[in-house]
């Protein structure tokens, strides 16, 4: 079960940066800290295996996937410049994976964020550092925060 991040009109409601491997936690935290420094609300999720994670950025409206990915690239570049000692070898990719949909396709599938109590090691970490095991509660919390608008994303990414 999963979600296709990109809508048929090549817009998306979120961007997720994927980190895997030995240094995933340090690299993902640096990316998350850079989001916060740039006033981009984001949340860190530890993956099911516990050996990777995703930094999620949610938007208050669907934005062009190309613009969301441009924002992600800007945040990643800023994080790498502020923490050159890290190297960011654990960075894997963004969801959505591409700027445009392939002809006749749906883009890349992102696994659904379902939790199985006692088996799943996945959880989210709010900006305040508190753990949250439920995706829906995390989204509900974002209703009370300023989420990047198309205009803000354009300003940051340029």
- Whether the predicted pLDDT of 29 surpasses 80: yes
- Whether the predicted pLDDT of 119 surpasses 50: no
Higher pLDDT: 143 or 66? It is 66
Higher pLDDT: 96 or 50? It is 96
- Whether the predicted pLDDT of 76 surpasses 60: yes
pLDDT given for residue 124 in this prediction: 63
* Confidence at 44, pLDDT banded by 50, 70, 90: confident
Q: Which of 2.30.29, 3.40.50, 3.90.920, 3.30.2450 is the CATH number of 2-157?
A: 3.90.920
3-state per-residue secondary structure call for the chain: CEECCECCCCEEEEEEEEEECCCHHHHHHHHHHHHHHCCCCCEEEECCCCCEEEEEEEEEEEEEHHHHHHHHHHHHHHHHHHCCCCCCCCEEEEECCCCCCCCCCCCCCEECCCCCCCCCCCEEECCCCCEECCHHHHHHHHCCCCCCCHHHHHHHHC
- Whether the predicted pLDDT of 116 surpasses 50: no
Give residue limits of the domains in the chain.
2-157
pTM: 0.80
């Amino acid at each position: 079960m999963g979600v296709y991040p990109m809508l048929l009109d090549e817009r998306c409601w979120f961007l997720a940066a994927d980190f895997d491997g030995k240094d995933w936690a340090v690299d993902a935290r640096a990316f998350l800290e850079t989001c916060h420094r740039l006033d981009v609300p984001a949340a860190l999720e530890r993956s099911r295996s516990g050996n990777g994670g995703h930094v999620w950025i949610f938007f208050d409206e669907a934005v062009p996937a190309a613009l969301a990915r441009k924002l992600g690239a800007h945040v990643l570049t800023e994080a790498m410049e502020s923490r050159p000692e890290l190297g960011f070898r654990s960075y894997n990719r963004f969801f959505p994976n591409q700027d445009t949909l392939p002809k006749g396709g749906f883009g890349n599938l992102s696994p659904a964020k379902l939790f199985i109590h006692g088996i799943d090691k996945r959880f989210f970490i709010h900006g305040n550092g508190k753990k949250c095991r439920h995706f829906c509660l995390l989204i509900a919390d974002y209703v009370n925060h300023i989420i990047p608008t198309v205009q803000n994303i354009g300003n940051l990414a340029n």
